[in-house]
Structure 1
Amino acid sequence: MTTLIIPVFNAKNIISKKFIETINKYSSFLEQVIVIDDASEDSSASLFDGIKVNVVHNKKNVGFAKSVNIGLSMNKSKYVCILNQDCLIPLDWIKNAESFLDDNKKAAAVSGLILNKQGQVDTAGHMLWNDWVCTERFSGMSGKRIDEPEEVFGLSATATVYRYSALKEAAVANEFFDESFGTYLEDVDLNIRLRHLNWESWIIPGAPAIHQRGSTGVRHILKVRKKGASNYLKIIFKNLSDNERMSASLFCAISFFWGFLKDPLAATFNPGDNAKLNSWREIIQKRRICSEENMAKWICGFRLNPFRRKG
């Protein structure tokens, strides 16, 4: 009933033995396990040798969003789980999500509590702010539990099970995730498109996943911040109605100004393909169902700096 999609890139020193053991167990009862090797330079895909998985080798590095889209285009299941290469999920994680999706037909995406290596909350879903920045709920908190299902604005693609029909409905030009986003805010963009179509996202009880987070160099962090500035503007342009953009403009300006003060190099962003942006905006706004009033119910306040995802 579920296909597991794992995009990997230069992960030989990131993917743990326990991760491989878990995927091996999952492969025995899932419909498919698809590993997308995004042109790794360290033979990352060899870690899955001897496991019942379908490994796809990208000829060049295309980023997280396009890699996931490649996997989604191969899907034959009712549900799909997207899993980061550095996230450990319990063996009942997907089964619990399947059961919830079976019982809740309006749910498009389901996840559980995700902790970091220190046992603090990494994410428990996304929170939406006045400037249309999304942050991770309860990030950094210790001792947090999820005892009942909780509807949230959206979910991180770190470890989430999606209803495939909802992804198809939210896709634009055969792209589930906007491939121009690469590896930053692509999940937020998808969350908004799902909300536009009145699909729901939920956090459910169960054993937490552990997001180990591989080490990140300074150069990569700066690159991500610049990409984040670009993708943030794309989210605003594509997904907000004229009224929403007008009401959010002051908050966006303040947030962006503060973001540039904190991260000056982020000012050198490239807005990307304007023709694609205009085309996507037209399609997204034309098929939107969710009213501005219902979307506004998810806005929980204002915070500074659009380039940081933490709460």
Structure 2
Amino acid sequence: MSRASDQALIERFLEMMQAEAGAAGNTIAAYGTDLRMASEALDGGLGDAGRAELERLAGEWQALARASVARKSAALRRFFAFLADEGLRRDDPAGALPRPGSGRSLPKVLSADDVERMFAAITARIAREPKDPNDLRLSALVELLYGSGLRATELVSLPRNAVAPDRPYLILRGKGGKERLVPISDRARAAVAAWREHVSSDRAWLFPSGKGHLSRVRLYQLVKALAAEAGIPPDRVSPHVLRHAFATHLLEGGADLRALQAMLGHADIATTEIYTHVDSKRLVDLVNERHPLGEALVDVTKRRD
């Protein structure tokens, strides 16, 4: 990958950090500096770097303070996690980086009740008079984020006719021309159909804006404003958090992890495992209730008491 390509990926990552994660300006500046220095050290090959390259890079940090190493590792970990989740590379080599901190944290989680509150706020908007077509746009956006787990970039760049009223799925093409099938719920198709009536037939995009389509930054702003309206702290909600909620709630409902991997477009099952956090109590209860030795284990515990 060329230095120019590295720069484009870094800028895209920093845009996400600013708009979605709400990172402070100093943090974004520090991450940008660390990533550009890493790219320069790897002759513009950061985006394609493997474990060997990252181990060599980490070896050059040995003389640095622990806090500096932790910051550089954090920047690169988040960068590679972003590339993997966006489908821009098939693996995440960040395991080769030093771990002076506590390791990778789990994504933010929205409860089903939180999501219901957001949809209730949308319903209240649509019922207002006079009608505002942008409320229908918001409904379609959130239905696709939570109902289908689309990435922010995939969502805003959907062609006008990508979602067909008689087809319960759409086909997305990712890096390298690889395609994946994404299920579209009846609710989402209805929401898209209602919004599309307000999109001129000569527009290329389902969510047009100016001469192009809705930007990722604007999508983040819309979702956070909706969260505040629903009484949820905006820093807990983003397009990616809704995508994560899609996966988490499906998994909690009994969905297969491999099926989720296909729907989310993750090349590595480990990425899916990170983004489909399940409450630990539910897992313990599952073992106690479903494991063949569950009753025997309970009896042993009682005898020990």
Normalized per residue, which structure has more strand?
A: 1
TM-score, normalised with respect to structure 2: 0.25
Structure of higher CA gyration radius = 2
TM-score, normalised with respect to structure 1: 0.25
